[in-house]
Structure 1
């Protein structure tokens, strides 16, 4: 069986990132009795994803499916050998139709629909124009997703700045704001928040709770960019040539309506509870969730049908990025099963030391520690599974986390979303934008050069945020 097919089929048997732990526990995978070696595949798949595209890019794109298969097998085979094949299959099937399919349905729909929106024009990359593009991208990232906003706006931004002698900083700040910080206000914005939504966090909770923090962080970062870009602009030569008449056009407008329908499908599934469910091998599927996922795939199909091919061609649209996301996240979700089981054991499990680190002597969570630990790991690993690890460490009860421990959930959410901007590998759009800019001839900073940028600009902002608002 081809590796990618194996991973995708296994993914259908490994639906959720929280559900697998519960399912595994139901079938004998007790986190209290698991050793640290069970976490090795999870750490391994994340490190492989983090280093593969940078250290061995060609090999990675040819064989990432095989690597994902190997790490998945490192979890599935021991479970089957130790607990038996029937419990292992039952646990995986119990998770099969959970959060994973819903997660991929949303990411796929937003990716396809946003890929049909083409922005053309003769924008000139002045400090004002650049600030407007970055502010607009930040604003829409929570509606069309950070990936969607990045794919819509990165090429117009590059065209606008192609004649400036120094322009890499524009792309760096675009990654900070549009690819990360802007996605903090809804489950549509960034994968960690959608994982939270699938685990019971209210759809509007992040917007109601995080809008002041996001406004502060985005405003400060945008202000730093405005000052820096203006300084560079004033130092650049500007030949006196007639300014062309501004002509900006948006093509594929039908996709804006489809994005509205995607949002509507998510909201309806949260509000509509008909009380109808289906039992599939012990897994209960609520009608509203089935309808939502089918609707999302259908809307993606409508976008492909209604959008002219030339629009997607101009956007250099390809299914490969979303295919890679689907395969790799399937492997991540498999590898995290025993990790979540160990987290579920709390103080009785292997993660007792980590739990003590984020908990005060009185038993109260240390929100600042949650913020920085979640953020630091999100910068170097994938922010969606990192969010889930700390979500589980904080108790995993969405009802309590939204009320009694709302500040803790806010700290985890902000750390995962904001600090995905610390490196090129913290969030999927980061590296995609880096690759597009490099292909256009932009002299982008390397991995550590980018970290110098993010450390100098973002860490002081995050320190201020943690001092006054966490």
Structure 2
């Protein structure tokens, strides 16, 4: 942090941040009904955040909090909110034959779309159609599990729009086009997971009864895409993030407040989506509600405030943690991203890497840190977000929709033991051995 008075940041001031993350991790497990109410999430965020603001103000560091809210939290929520609104206006319907090749194609399309409409947007667009396509089949849990891994996580690697941790790294100086350099790792992981899924689905397809196969073959509804105008608004968001930044508009570099031009255009795209999308399709066919984005807004308000002391502590004490290799950052970011939200985890390790750099403005750095470190943090945060239901926002949403449709999903620990440890982790280890 370069704003406010530079002084040693005590570790105990990071306690509210840790408590905030623990609430997110164990809240749905220990007090589900109380935690599912968004007002209670806001209460927790304010109860933990306000004391941090007061303490930081008493230390002359209020500017650090203000900067975090204005230039990290606001752009973050504006982007996620706009993607949520725009993708909520796109409706895909139909029922085609649930052959292994068709299901694999579904996941592959989702793995591409996720980078450009966000993992949440792609997951919400495709989860109901793929459930409907597989409705006649008995064995479909594995399809939802791979859907979480590919569409709700790994697919979002190619742009800052894809996954929240990448957008936060973009806000810290990583150019929009830099994320395309992660294409080899994205292609490798997505391709390997698709291959594993194809042969898994082929195995289960052979176990289906002849009656189920016959019904699936006979019950066909053509695929229809509605709300196509929203792709124009989505393009507007992509171009805003790609072009309306300090790399192309020097005034933004001179005065951060000019950066809100980008947020203004993104908000305009969301408003246009609300105006021009058929209301019945949005609210009835897509079952659109504001609750999910309010949940994100309330939770991340607490996260962004309470993480300020933690980020300062990490940057000031980076040398003492013993993390100096890219593979160490990959696994450390990945492990924490599995059980905590991957967005603040990525920012935390970015600050840790920042503390290892002598001159953050030296040539050859990306987002003021070593490029290989930035790759390790990005890959760890996005890929390992699929290791548990709580690693990334869309995971729980996909699980909930599957269970609404009478698909018996594994428990929290069942998911880890039966899927992520035996399928995902080996793929991620091989990825590290090849690329880092």
Please state how far the C-alpha of 1:99 moved relative to its aligned partner. 2.1
Alignment match, 2:313: 342
Alignment pair present for 1:319 and 2:287: no
Moved more, 322-331 or 388-397: 388-397
Structure 2 residue matching 1:164: 3-state secondary structure: coil
Residue number among 209, 218, 235 corresponding to 1:260 in the alignment:
235
Matched positions, count: 422
Alignment match, 1:387: 346
Please state how far the C-alpha of 1:246 moved relative to its aligned partner. 4.9
Structure 2 CA distance for partners of 1:223 and 1:95, relative to 1, 3 Å: closer
Alignment pair present for 1:377 and 2:336: yes
Alignment match, 1:157: 130
Counterpart contact for 1:97–1:285, Cα < 8 Å: no
Please state how far the C-alpha of 1:90 moved relative to its aligned partner. 4.2
Please state how far the C-alpha of 1:405 moved relative to its aligned partner. 2.4
Structure 2 CA distance for partners of 1:95 and 1:460, relative to 1, 3 Å: closer
RMSD: 1.9
Cα distance in structure 2, aligned partners of 1:419 and 1:226: 21
Structure 2 CA distance for partners of 1:98 and 1:179, relative to 1, 3 Å: same
Alignment pair present for 1:448 and 2:413: yes
Cα distance in structure 2, aligned partners of 1:179 and 1:436: 13
Residue-by-residue CA offset, 1:119-164 (whole Å, 9 max, x unaligned):
0112232211110110000011000000010010001011111221
Structure 2 residue matching 1:121: 3-state secondary structure: strand
Structure 2 residue matching 1:465: 3-state secondary structure: helix
Structure 2 residue matching 1:247: 3-state secondary structure: strand
Structure 2 residue matching 1:204: 3-state secondary structure: helix
Cα distance in structure 2, aligned partners of 1:276 and 1:183: 27
Cα distance in structure 1, aligned partners of 2:158 and 2:67: 31
Cα distance in structure 2, aligned partners of 1:203 and 1:167: 37
Cα distance in structure 2, aligned partners of 1:459 and 1:95: 33
Moved more, 385-394 or 403-412: 403-412
Cα distance in structure 2, aligned partners of 1:466 and 1:267: 28
Cα distance in structure 1, aligned partners of 2:64 and 2:373: 30
Aligned pairs (5 A) from 1:123-202: 123-202=96-175
Residue-by-residue CA offset, 1:146-190 (whole Å, 9 max, x unaligned):
001001000101111122112111111000000000001110100
Structure 2 CA distance for partners of 1:258 and 1:276, relative to 1, 3 Å: closer
Structure 2 CA distance for partners of 1:185 and 1:466, relative to 1, 3 Å: same
Query: Gaps (5+ residues) in structure 1?
Result: 1-20, 279-283, 360-365
Alignment match, 2:18: 43
Aligned pairs (5 A) from 1:429-440: 429-440=394-405
Alignment match, 2:251: 275
Alignment pair present for 1:353 and 2:353: no
Alignment pair present for 1:22 and 2:2: yes
Please state how far the C-alpha of 1:243 moved relative to its aligned partner. 2.6
Alignment pair present for 1:332 and 2:303: yes
Cα distance in structure 1, aligned partners of 2:250 and 2:184: 35
Structure 1 residue matching 2:218: 3-state secondary structure: coil
Structure 1 residue matching 2:288: 3-state secondary structure: coil
Alignment match, 1:412: 377
Alignment match, 2:71: 98
* TM-score (ref. length: structure 1): 0.86
Cα distance in structure 2, aligned partners of 1:340 and 1:161: 45
Alignment match, 1:7: none
Structure 1 residue matching 2:92: 3-state secondary structure: strand
Please state how far the C-alpha of 1:91 moved relative to its aligned partner. 4.0
Please state how far the C-alpha of 1:263 moved relative to its aligned partner. 0.8
Structure 2 CA distance for partners of 1:404 and 1:41, relative to 1, 3 Å: closer
Alignment pair present for 1:295 and 2:262: no
Please state how far the C-alpha of 1:46 moved relative to its aligned partner. 0.7
Cα distance in structure 1, aligned partners of 2:265 and 2:250: 17
Alignment pair present for 1:216 and 2:192: no
Residue number among 421, 425, 431 corresponding to 1:465 in the alignment:
431
Please state how far the C-alpha of 1:73 moved relative to its aligned partner. 2.7
Please state how far the C-alpha of 1:389 moved relative to its aligned partner. 0.9
Alignment match, 2:45: 68
Please state how far the C-alpha of 1:92 moved relative to its aligned partner. 3.2
Structure 2 CA distance for partners of 1:118 and 1:79, relative to 1, 3 Å: same
Cα distance in structure 1, aligned partners of 2:298 and 2:224: 35
Counterpart contact for 1:275–1:286, Cα < 8 Å: no
